[in-house]
Amino acid sequence: MIPDQPKNEVFLTTEEVLEYLQINLRTVYRLIKARKIPAVRVGRQWRFRKRDIDAWLDGQGTKPAGPAPVVPAQRTGRARVLVVDDEESIRDLLTKTLALAEYDVETTADGSAALELLRASEFDLLVADLSMPGMDGLTLIRQVRRIHAELPIIIITGFSSESSAIEAVNLRVASYLLKPFGVPDVLAAARKALGAAVA
């Protein structure tokens, strides 16, 4: 339950705050942690008072001015991860897990969009579902290898087979996670993949 509030109090969801502020999920988490933006926990979700968001914006000397133009993200010194999965719940889980572990995360629901992002911007790690409509994970990885031959890749799947596992090895996939997986599994696979890339 959201705490008692004035009748005209407006609360925003996390998704509404992302759109309103034109910032990414990682930045929102950092603002909550730094207590820059007060947030109320409702189950597994966050809720934000719009007046608190506006007060923070006033302090920054800025107001939302509509959708921001799409430009390649600036490097922050943190590893950038692209998550590709057609299941929204999996994308959300991976985003929250990796963002809280200090990774910058972008997501997309299909392989074609992932290729466009990989061509337009630099990523340090790709996490891709094996089974997706349209372009499946292995097809995506074969295409990615033509663009970024050494990009570390983690496959996630709920439907493993011997042939797909063999092809994943041949495509030099760093890790192969079976659903359902836990947060420690994801973080360990990311550390391993990025560690191998640095070595």
The pTM for the full model equals 0.61
**Tens of pLDDT along the chain (199 residues)?**
444 444 456 777 877 777 777 677 777 777 777 777 778 777 667 788 888 777 777 766 544 444 433 444 444 578 999 999 999 999 999 999 999 888 999 999 999 999 999 998 899 999 999 999 899 999 999 999 999 999 999 999 887 678 888 888 889 999 999 888 888 899 999 999 998 654 4
Question: Residue 104 has what DSSP assignment?
Answer: E
The answer to whether residue 71 sits within a structural domain is: no
Residues 21 and 88 in one domain: no
Distance CA 42, CA 164 (A): 40
Q: Is residue 1 part of a domain?
A: no
**Residue 2 CA neighbour count, 13 Å, CB half:** 14
The domain of 192 spans 80-198
* DSSP letter assigned to residue 94: H
Domain count, the chain: 2
